[in-house]
Chain A
Amino acid sequence: MSYKPELSRNWWLKHHYYSRYMLREATVLPLLFFCGCLLGALFSLTQGEACWQQWLMFMRHPLVVALNLLALIASLYHAKTFFELFPRVMPIRIAGKTLPASLMIAAQWAGTVFTALLLLVIIGGMI
């Protein structure tokens, strides 16, 4: 008789490599909170100025700021993992040579930084 051990539900706690994978998957939880905030913004824009002011007040609540700070950290951790996977899933070959992964990762980070600066200019009138 052969013996087949069952994989336990907490398998992802048994090795830090698996825990980091679960952490990557869990980055969507704070993301959902921020998406909820944006849905609230769209709704309050349909309702008029008073409702929009309430949304702005909600966004200034310390607990909301804390959760969104967590969402920001989650988005950056997701970005790091996502950017590192991309060159492996879609290696780009130019003239018979594979583009170095570090170059592709740097280009993606440049995209994130550029978009952030663009949004700061548009939304905040900054820079």
Chain B
Amino acid sequence: MNTPLKRSDEPVWWALFSAGGVCFAVVIPGLILSLAILYPLGLIDAGMLSYQRVHQLMFGNLWGLGGIAIAGAAICLPLFHAAHRIHHGLHDLKLAHSMVPKIVCYGLAAVFSLLALYWVAISLF
């Protein structure tokens, strides 16, 4: 009798990787441009990034959808995207021969994703 072939759990990580890849390509460039380039260069008025305005934008309007969207599309999914590439990159560099790097990569992505969602939650309530 043939022994049943092992099914890979990769579809789960690949789906998260793909979703994160879309966010990395579509959302991240504009976010870096505005927050990390134009604002430091003084091309976005500092008043636009006051604590009150940002807090209101993220958690005050639309039941906090802004904050949830930023956490999901710019932190959680990109983190899983990065974890996937680093996990496979370690294999490419012949550095990963066990389950440990996989658990560390996706584990860290999960921990920091939960942290981001926790900070959004306590800002909301």
List chain A positions with a Cβ less than 8 A from chain B: 9, 12, 22, 25-29, 31-32, 34-35, 37-39, 41-43, 45-46, 48-49, 52-53, 56, 59-60, 64-65, 68-69, 71-72, 75-76, 78-79, 82-83, 108, 111-112, 115-120, 122-126
Contacts and interface: CB of A to CB of B under 8 A. Distances in A.
Interface string B102-125: 000000000010011001101100
B40 A59 contact: yes
A35 B74 contact: yes
Contacts of A59: 35-36, 39-40
Contacts of A45: 51, 54-55, 58-59, 119, 123
Contacts of B43: 124
B38 to A, nearest CB: 7
Interface of B: 21-22, 24-41, 43-46, 48-49, 51, 54-55, 57-59, 67, 70-71, 74-75, 78-79, 81-82, 85-86, 88-89, 92-94, 112, 115-116, 119-120, 122-123
Given A46-B123, A79-B25, A9 B30 contact: no
B85 A119 contact: no
Contacts of B44: 123-124, 126
